[in-house]
Structure 1
Amino acid sequence: MSATPRTQHTQHVPRASLAVDAKCALGEGATWCARSGRFYWTDIEGARLWRYDPRDGRSTNWAMPERLATFALCDDERVLLLGLATRLAFFDLTTGELQPIVDIEPGLSTRVNDGRCDRQGRFVFGTKDEASPVQAIGGFYRLGHDLALERLPLPSPAISNSIAFSPDGATMYYCDSPTREIRACDYGIDGHVSNDRVFTRLTDASGEPDGSTIDRDGGLWNAQWGGERVVRYDATGNETERVIVPTAQPSCVAFGGAQLGTLYVTSARVGLDAAALARDPLAGGVFVATPARRGLPEPVFLGRPRGSFAASRG
């Protein structure tokens, strides 16, 4: 993998446009549900789950019992796996019922942060330190189909992000945002992790790596917080394309639409003072672009709720 990526700029750099003026404090968790044709995301600091239907332009949101950092689609499309600040839980979209699964890092100054399902339908996520200054005391974890939690043997992050998996599932990508580098490791079908390495380092003067997604050609698209951009890296870690996002803090990306050819980008207002918000009125919105690539269907979590919650689902 390339530690100092070559940059291949093209003459035309696409520019994303506003789709939903949600004004989220901290939009994250960009996820397209191909079964329903809707886009989901979270406002972490607003403690709300959002859903947008591009067919009619309508948005819906649900209040959460605590900050919702990340989530995953489930085998039952009426259920989501939630990565709340302090715990994982199942959530019934139709009834609002919540079933706790496991607490995460109790006793530490951390919360759940970025997460994605691997190609085998297990949920992989990381945490971030909420102390100031942040310390690299968090971890990366995997929730299995049996709802058992295990810690992955990866370096402890201060702010975990960029979790994504290659099309064949054999490579996992992740980052600790303050390091300004994205890492990769070999990822076995059995979940074994090895050969941890630098995948790419950001070369722009500004910006940190945030949420990522993978296209069907194996390229990694990364939202770069503070950089007003999304950057695509090929499988060797070299930049091939970028999308300009007209807001300071793009946070996460996902491919959606009928042909998975629309790039959705979440963003945030947190940390911007009144003067900055006056210059950046679209901050916290959801943006869309149409790059010359297509995405992959989002894997769903294959574990199931237990007990009465499971019974109520049929």
Structure 2
Amino acid sequence: MSIEVRVAVQAENRLGEGVLWCDRAQALYWTDIHAAMLWRYVPADGAVRSWPMPERLASFALCVADDWLLLALATRFAFFNIATGELRDICTLPIAPQTRANDGACDRHGRFVVGTLHEPSTGGKRAIGTFLRLDADLAVRELPLPRVAIANAIAFSPDGSTMYFCDSLQKKILRCEYGDEVGNVSTFVDLTALEGGEPDGSCVDREGGVWNAQWGASRVVRYRADGIEDRVVAMPTAQPTRPAFGGPTLSTLYVTSAHDGMADAARSIDRHAGDVFAFEPGLAGLREPRFAGDPDAAPRR
């Protein structure tokens, strides 16, 4: 479909990811993973701010507690107070060697799910990554889901009963029945025929449509709840990474992007690689769920 896509923030991120909208602050947050940097943009006045992190920040969630974010850092969970800069470690992630946290999202019940990524020093990525859930009591459990090389596309249906996820290298977005227990995994969208692209981050609109950014394919695609392709939005960059609904009425779709792995010649053509984009898709999103855990339950430094 023909939609005007604009640059919202000239961020030039190496690996922009994890984007979400805070309805309380009316602000957009995202991470540049490899720069270990948290970013914020306030559309009302155009203000942009960033915070350095102690290690790579893969994904994060808003918290029920004001001014707090839950961070999925490369190797651990932590709380971060955006007003004071205080960091409170929760725990080290129970993950395999040469893996790190990657895509993550808060479910409709206030729990945070994060998937991991294999990051070998030599050789190709292998499907040894897992999906972990941090509950409100700050206990961590591994979800009984397929092992992955690059966990992505984590999102939840409006009623919270379906979880979407993928291994980007397998080029299939999967879904499962989701709640206190997780199971019955099936294929939601098969993208193995997509040449040069793979599924990355996802979000869900009010009607239950799944919007997926497709790395290497210069597009964001909406799939109906039955998995049928509904809309394709061409992006002015090769590597869009994750979409999120934002704005006062949640009717703007923001999309992060990356220039990671691009040669200088490619970047000279793809001038907005790493920027944050925005467009009006004609549908509205849902308020971002908030992690229910209490930062005061975490040890203080």
TM-score (norm 1): 0.92
In the other structure, the counterpart of 1:286 is 276
| Change over 3 Å in CA distance of 1:217–1:107 after alignment to 2 | closer
1:201-234 CA deviation, whole Å, 9 max, x = no partner? Answer: 1243231100000000000000000011000000
Decide whether the 8 Å contact of 1:17 with 1:245 is kept in 2.
no
Q: What is the rounded CA distance, in whole Å, between the counterparts of 2:66 and 2:233 in structure 1?
A: 31
For 1:266, the aligned partner's letter is T
2:87 equivalent among 98, 105, 108: 98
3-state DSSP class of the match of 1:306?
helix
Aligned to 1:207: 197
Give 1:13's aligned amino acid.
Answer: S
Question: Residue in 1 aligned with 2:154?
Answer: 163
How many pairs does the alignment contain?
A: 298
Q: Which residue number corresponds to residue 186 of structure 2? A: 197
Give the secondary-structure state (helix, strand or coil) at the position aligned to 1:277. Answer: helix
Aligned-partner Cα distance in 1 for 2:101–2:134: 13
1:20 aligns with 2:31: no
Corresponding position of 1:71: 60
Residue number in structure 2 paired with 1:147:
138
Q: Which residue of 2 aligns with 1:122?
A: 111
Contact 2:8-2:278 within 8 A present in 1 as well: yes
Residue 165 of structure 1 and its aligned partner are, at CA, apart by 0.4
Counterpart pick for 1:240 among 212, 227, 230 = 230
User: C-alpha displacement at 1:242, in angstroms?
Assistant: 1.5
1:62-86 Cα distance to aligned partner (Å, 9 max, x none): 0000000000000113100000001
**Contact 2:256/2:277 (CA < 8 Å) preserved in 1?**
yes
Aligned residue in 1 for 2:169? 178
| 1:48 matched to 2:37 | yes
* Cα deviations by residue, 1:80-139 (Å, 9 ceiling, x for unpaired): 000000101001111211111111135511000000011000001100000130010010
Shifted more, 291-300 versus 204-213: the winner is: 204-213
In structure 2, relative to structure 1, the CA distance for the partners of 1:308 and 1:27 (3 Å cut) is closer
- Mapped partners of 1:286, 1:77: distance in 2: 25
Q: Residues 172 and 163 (structure 1 numbering): CA distance in 2 closer, same or farther, change over 3 Å?
A: same
Q: Any unmatched runs of 5+ in structure 2?
A: none
Find the aligned partners of 1:308 and 1:210 in 2 and give their Cα distance: 31
Structure 2 CA distance, aligned partners of 1:150 and 1:66? 23
Is the 1:15–1:246 contact (alpha carbons within 8 Å) kept by the matching residues of 2? no
Q: Is the 8 A contact 1:112 1:128 kept in 2?
A: yes
Q: Secondary structure at the match of 1:198?
A: strand
CA distance in 1, matches of 2:9, 2:42: 10
Deviation at 1:245, TM superposition (A): 1.0
Which residue type is aligned with residue 226 of structure 1? G
CA contact (8 A) 2:96 2:128 kept: no
- In structure 2, the CA distance between the partners of 1:166 and 1:305, relative to structure 1 (3 Å rule), is same
Unmatched segments (≥5 aa) in structure 1: 1-11
Q: How far apart in 2 are the matches of 1:275 and 1:160?
A: 29
CA-to-aligned-CA distance 1:36-87 (integer Å, 9 cap, x gap) = 1000000000110000000111100000000000000001131000000010
After TM superposition, the structure 1 stretch with the greater mean CA deviation from structure 2, 97-106 or 32-41, is: 97-106
Deviation of 1:309 after TM superposition, in Å, equals 6.4
> Offset of 1:260 from its aligned partner?
0.5
Aligned-residue identity in percent:
53
